[in-house]
Structure 1
Amino acid sequence: MEALPNDWVALAALVFMLGVKHGFDADHLATIDGLTRFNLRHGAPVARACGILFSLGHGTVVIAIALAVSTLARRWQVPGWLEASGAWISIGFLVALGVINLRAVLTTRHDEVVQPVGLKGRWLGRLQHASHPLAVAAVGALFALSFDTVSQAALFAAAGAQYGGWGHALALGLLFTLGMLVMDGINGLWISRLIRRTDQMALVASRVMSLAVSGTSLLVAAFGVMRQLLPAVDAWSDGKELAFGLSVVCVIAGSFFLALRLTRVPAVAAARPMRFVE
């Protein structure tokens, strides 16, 4: 979990980037993938909008948490252990997600599309078969009820409240949601395009995205461990949160644009029929 800068503009920019990075979370990608595939198979018009709807539901809870924390900020201080605990929990999730998505790339058959793998989605059961817009948004809202999301929202809301109360916390919540909305929305559109492809480029594009997910997760986790264990690294990184966030966003954006470009290449018949794992 990134330390938050003291300057308002830098804080707002960082929170937006945190939203983008949060939208790139493998759990988000895997669940949006499942929702999109289910709705495409059943011809539901909501299929292409699953990423946007999921993000709106998720963001609604984040904004509610931000408003609640900002309202209580004058009478309640965010406990010091929350940041450290949240950091280690985030690191644990990142390592797990990085490893299982890397394993998915290495073990998926060469004629199958690699699907992103998440942890939280396994607990949702039939909720991943939602086809009504409100139901898809509700799945996103349920995803926000986790310690890493709640702790992150509480920390940036408390920081925002120092600048003038609930209005600043609300603005940060909206910026976080906007960043997440951009990433999850693009992801939903990309998945719907990928599913319609039946050639080698779709296979390559799916591997590009899965490797980007696993690589980014593991690198961010490794840097987080170094910050927690090595005071020199923590001191060196102090004040560079915005630059680090921008670097992660650039890697994410580059991976998405490469994958999107691959799926826009004119379809070429594959040597073997491509398979999608249900």
Structure 2
Amino acid sequence: MAQAMSPTPQVADRKHYPSDLTEAQWELVEPFVRGNPVGPQPVVHPRREVLNAILYVSRTGVQWRYLPHDFPDWQSVYSYFRQWKKDGTLKLIHDVLRGKVRKQAGRSPQPTAAILDSQSVKADIQAEARGYDANKKVKGLKRHLLVDTLGLVLVAWMSTADVQDRDAAAAVLPLATEQFPSLKKVFADAAYEGPRVASIAQQAGVEVEIVKRSDNTPGFVVQAKRWIVERTLGWLSRERRLARDYERKEESSEAFVYLGMIRLMLGRLA
């Protein structure tokens, strides 16, 4: 007589955390993590609880080993994070959700315009590489973000903080046009002005428009288009894991940017 299979463990009956996925949000992401072959058996740790734990780390900034005990053990959670980072699962979820949000807003999935900017953040001493941004007086990492006109991230590229924005454009613009052939125009600030960026943009097949701040206007002034990417940086700052760079590898820093945007987009969709 065949032995009956034990039922798949359900999500732990525990106190709800504000960072937990709702039923509707889980339905949107579950297909992407259902069949991922991480761990000894898929039923050992429910994937929803694993993702809840990863989102908890992103939102609160807690170290992996300080995860609350009502989540799966931190070693397993980190193993899933590492695998989903390496095999592109987190980026895939991010990209699919971005298309859904754009469609919800009445936009085409493929953008034609984008805004480029960077943000320097302090990095822990454990980081494999750090650089000093003399302008911002920051030693650490620089996040180079290209966002669409809704503020959704199109490209996230990480470097040490000493990399100039003009030099980073050599990596970001070709990558952007490769992923988004429809992209025609990129707005940026004066840090991207000059023949080098113009040449890179021409080769990539996009136009870069420099939006300058007027020196005749005192105090804070909202800059056309540039405020959109600055708002995105503000959204990401809500994730305490992104308040500074706690990661050893730049790929992990990039993954947490995607996680921050995944949370935001899930909130809009469900």
Normalising by structure 2, we get a TM-score of 0.25
Q: Which has the higher strand share?
A: 2
Higher relative contact order (CA 8 A, sep 6+): 1
* Structure ID, larger Rg: 2
| Bigger helix share | 1
User: Could you state the TM-score of these two structures normalised by the residue count of structure 1?
Assistant: 0.25
